[in-house]
Amino acid sequence: MFLQKIKPFLYLGIFYLAISLLVRMIFIFHPITTVNFDVMDVVKILIIGILNDILVFILTCPFLAVYFLFLSNSKYQKPYGHIILGLLAILFLYVLLIPDNIFKQYGGSAVEIALAFIGLKIILFSLMLFLPEKRLKIRNILYFITIFLYVLLIVFNAVSEYFFYNEFGLRYNFIAVDYLIYTNEVIGNIMESYPVVPLFLVIFAVAAAFTFYIYKKTRTELLNLPNLKQKLILLASFAILVAISIFGLNLTTKIKSENVFEDEIQANGLPKFYWAFTHNELDYFQFYPEINQSKAEKVFLSQFVSPALKRNIVSAEPELKKNVVLISIESLSADFLAHYGNTQKITPFLDSLADKSLMFTNLYATGNRTVRGLEALTLCIPPTAGESIIKRENNKNKFTTGSVFKSKGYDVKFLYGGYSYFDNMKDFYEGNGYEIVDRDSFKPEEISFANVWGVADEDMAKKAIQTMNAEAKSGKPFFNHWMTVSNHRPFTYPNGKIDIPGDAKSREGGVKYTDYSLRKFFEMAKKQVWYSNTVFVIIADHCASSAGDTELPMDKYRIPAMIFSDGFIQPQKFTQTMSQIDVMPTLFGLLNFKYQSKFLGQDVFSKEFQPKAYVATYEDLGLIKDNHLTIISPVKKIRQYTLTQQKSNLTPEFSIYYDEKYLKPDSQNKKLIEQTIAAYQSTSYWLKKNQLNH
């Protein structure tokens, strides 16, 4: 009886093991596998590989087990069937009619997906409730679809692993995670690189054929559904098997050899994908071009007056212990401001403030995610392959802007309108000595509006003023880093504040509301006793979009940035190319701070400053310098582009690079390639050795 009930699992398991074995054999004989295995090596690879596959398949079985758990005829009996149908209808109406339901908070297509899923469930449940004679036929159709999805995923994963191995000689790693993150770009690349339509037709045909076979062999199990006792026994069995599998994978994944190919072929791609997703980094020294490490450090550090990682920053002028408020604005592309040519008038306050500030007109974000911008402003180092350091395990006790301020006797805080555990911000900032003020710090009466990302920027502005007033009373200077949230999908905010309705879910509305909130913040700040002794740094974390015609499109990294302080900072425009990582070292220079620095950004007003910027995705690492963009990528790829400035009606300092012309290898600037490799290799090495710690 037990074997009868697990027949679907047995057939799917055999199919999965057969496909995995086929893929593993292909990898052994693939031309990219530049190792000759003897018979014992192959036996070892196959034994460990099959064991890994069995353990991984067991971990996927609970999804099918839950499907069988809910197969029942009793739920359609009176009154249960009508009650369940009524609850489904109420849920559908809730999603459809309630303005602030949980799905609408997430914006995008969440509401449409929820309505489609619940609506389909209502239709199918109604058919099986009111047409009992058709119940078995409908159940068979749904069972076929369920098995088809399992088989399709098995086949699709095998094909994906083949193409990934074909390109990198490895199972899944963080590059595969990157492919999920950059779905649009990756799909476009696949469409251009492979015969997608024939390939998908073959995948679907193979999946359909094997599904039909498994379905024919197992459909009789739907005639006699397991009772509650049998279901509980099956679930308990799966729970035990899952626990054994997790324990087993912890052992088998640690079995290593001296050969990378052997390790990769005997592994299973899915645990490696999970590991890459949770560890968030790529090993620079495995995937990227290298030069001698000593030479790399020498080339990179030559830009500093004292060419050493730990440097003494000195000033002939006395230090200025002014309060500092760093405001990093969510997704504020440069081209949202009128200064950069925007005609929508959605940043009237920021444009007016820019005219009174030191404005950096040619500044580039290091990445295209909030945590990457926070990393650049806090650690002041070039981006490294993979996820931001903020989201990595080894993210504490770093040399940060906060640690410099703390060494000067400042109160140091990170302010965020949402829950700071998101994106690991709380762990990172608390682990580096910052106090946290986030949504948990708000009383209910202090919140006039909130969405899934946090309280409205206007509410956070009021909280910031309250926090700074308390700090000022202590007699100590303060450094507060405020990260805004309102300019983020779903772009909802209080109605009646600006001329774009708060429920319009408009990107322009999100930008304009954040601009409005900043105006309110400065209006309140001007009334405080600490205002005249405070420097404000306003900068975007990244642009609103990162998609473009090239790997690192210049216009998708250019962000606005300014430093404002009434009576202290004289209005001017700094027009040279610079990086997000240069902003805080420049501020420290303006304050005449004397400190030992491990920052890899530069004070742009120092005589040794070299105009340049670092830009990156999760895997492409770029250097903008001397009208060139040099990019290094996994599998030790190197590409270089010349950059041409756009002719526009704007003043020269706001003209942007628009033409990225690819250079063939024999035309590339070798010195810039060496500098690019030196920068990213040195940063990765120092992080790996914990040499950028406080």
Q: Which two tokens stand for residue 262?
A: 């052997």
CA distance 239 to 140: 27
Q: What is the pLDDT of residue 7?
A: 87
Q: Is the pLDDT of residue 234 over 90?
A: no
Q: What is the pLDDT of residue 579?
A: 98
Q: What is the pLDDT of residue 181?
A: 59
Cα 514 → chain centroid: 23
Q: pLDDT of 304-329, one tens digit each? A: 988 999 999 999 999 999 999 999 99
Segment among 50-59, 63-72, 106-115, 672-681 with least mean pLDDT: 106-115
CA distance 55 to 131: 41
- In percent, how much of the chain has pLDDT > 70? 93
CA distance 186 to 175: 11
DSSP 8-state class, residue 693: B
Q: Is the pLDDT of residue 188 over 70?
A: no
Q: Is the pLDDT of residue 535 over 80?
A: yes
Domain definitions of the chain by residue range: 2-71+135-279, 74-130, 293-688
pLDDT band at 422 (very low <50, low <70, confident <90, very high): confident
Q: pLDDT of 360-399, one tens digit each? A: 999 999 998 899 999 999 999 999 988 899 988 899 999 9
Residues β-bridged to residue 622: 615, 631
Q: What is the pLDDT of residue 656?
A: 67
Q: pLDDT of 248-260, one tens digit each? A: 998 988 887 777 7
Q: pLDDT of 1-35, one tens digit each? A: 455 668 889 999 999 999 999 999 999 998 888 88
CA distance 253 to 280: 18
Q: Is the pLDDT of residue 265 over 70?
A: yes
CA distance 38 to 169: 19
**Main-chain dihedrals φ then ψ at residue 644, nearest 5 degrees:** -120, 130
Q: Dump the DSSP string for 411-448.
A: EEEEEESS-TTGGGHHHHHHTTT-EEESGGG--GGG-S
Task: Give the H/E segment covering residue 22.
Answer: helix 7-29
CA distance 431 to 304: 29
Higher pLDDT, 377 or 272: 377
CA distance 329 to 446: 21
87, burial (CB in 10 Å: exposed 0-12, middle 13-18, buried 19+)? exposed
CA distance 550 to 346: 28
Q: What is the pLDDT of residue 423?
A: 87
Q: What is the pLDDT of residue 444?
A: 94
CA distance 488 to 108: 11
Helix (H, G, I), strand (E, B) or coil at 688: helix
CA distance 48 to 33: 18
Quickly tell me which residue has 């306050």 as its tokens. 349
Q: What is the pLDDT of residue 281?
A: 74
pLDDT band at 549 (very low <50, low <70, confident <90, very high): low
Mean pLDDT of the chain: 90
Amino acid 128 reads: M
CB 426 within 8 A of CB 454: no
Q: Is the pLDDT of residue 204 over 60?
A: yes
Q: What is the pLDDT of residue 185?
A: 47
Q: Dump the DSSP string for 431-493.
A: TTT-EEESGGG--GGG-S-EETTEE-HHHHHHHHHHHHHHHHHTTS-EEEEEE--SSSTT---
pLDDT band at 96 (very low <50, low <70, confident <90, very high): confident
pTM for the model stands at 0.77
Q: What is the pLDDT of residue 647?
A: 64
Q: pLDDT of 63-92, one tens digit each? A: 888 888 888 888 888 888 899 999 999 999
Q: Which fold has domain 293-688?
A: Alkaline Phosphatase, subunit A (3.40.720)
Q: What is the pLDDT of residue 175?
A: 67
Helix, strand, coil shares of the chain, percent, nearest 5, are 55, 15, 35
Quickly tell me which residue has 């993210």 as its tokens. 395
